[in-house]
């Protein structure tokens, strides 16, 4: 039984109920069309900042402890068994990947970037260096968005759940993704206390 649970925790099974995927897809597209890139960037930075602040308050032992939380809308069942540092590790990988995608979409449409779900699966041994790494990833992302401006490119890159997304839609997704995992960190912290 324990071996099966450990194996499940290692396997990236990215499954949301179909109704949640549809709602999220509509939400991302609506948010991207209604909000300015600058306001989306403010949410992106604020949510990452909250995740970092929550993480800094924890002793290393607690932030490293893998706990199981209840699934909530937007989080895959397989992501329920993470530590705070694992969640930060995931955010670093996803935000770095989205930075590369947005740059490629807006620069020339020549992606040369291929991201699989396994590429953004966190490491169980993620440590306190992930706090600083997330801050650096957020700063790189922010500089790129500020430089690119309105993200008007019509080029798309496919998301595994939502299909083709423009740079602006990827930008909206990044902000919502930061928010989702900030909520996850809050839930992990509550389980630790």
**pLDDT value, residue 19:** 93
**pLDDT value, residue 153:** 87
Predicted structure pTM score? 0.90
Q: Measuring CA to CA, which residue among 161, 190, 191, 189 is closest to residue 176?
A: 161
- What phi and psi, each to the nearest 5 degrees, are found at residue 66? -80, 125
**pLDDT value, residue 112:** 65
DSSP state of 123: P
Could you tell me the mean pLDDT of each successive run of 10 residues in the chain, 193 residues long? 46 74 96 97 98 97 97 93 98 96 82 76 97 98 95 89 94 98 98 91
Cβ atoms of 180 and 49 within 8 Å: the answer is no
Q: Considering the chain, what is the average pLDDT of its residues?
A: 90
pLDDT in tens, 84-138: 999 999 999 999 999 999 999 998 666 666 777 788 999 999 999 999 999 999 9
DSSP state of 13: -
Q: Measuring CA to CA, which residue among 134, 145, 136, 140 is closest to residue 168?
A: 145
Domains of the chain (ranges, CATH numbers) = 17-192 (1.20.120.450)
**pLDDT value, residue 39:** 98
**pLDDT value, residue 113:** 67
Helix axes 167-192, 129-148, angle to 10 degrees: 160
Site of tokens 């490293």: 64
């Amino acid at each position: 039984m324990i071996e099966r649970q450990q194996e499940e925790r290692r396997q990236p099974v990215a499954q949301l109920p179909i109704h949640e995927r549809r709602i999220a897809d509509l939400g991302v597209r609506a948010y991207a069309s209604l909000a300015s890139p600058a306001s989306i960037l403010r949410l992106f930075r604020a949510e990452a900042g909250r995740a970092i602040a929550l993480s800094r308050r924890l002793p290393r032992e607690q932030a490293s402890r893998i706990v199981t939380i209840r699934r909530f809308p937007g989080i895959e069942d397989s992501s329920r068994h993470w530590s705070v540092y694992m969640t930060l590790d995931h955010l670093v990988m996803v935000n770095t990947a989205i930075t590369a995608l947005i740059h490629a979409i807006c620069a020339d449409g020549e992606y040369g970037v291929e991201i699989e779900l396994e590429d953004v699966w966190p490491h169980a041994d993620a440590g306190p260096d992930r706090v600083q790494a997330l801050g650096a990833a957020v700063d790189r992302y922010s500089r790129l968005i500020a430089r690119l401006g309105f993200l008007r490119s019509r080029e798309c890159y496919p998301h595994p759940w939502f299909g083709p997304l423009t740079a602006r839609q990827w930008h909206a997704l990044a902000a919502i993704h930061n928010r989702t995992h900030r909520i996850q960190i809050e839930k992990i912290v509550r389980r630790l206390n």
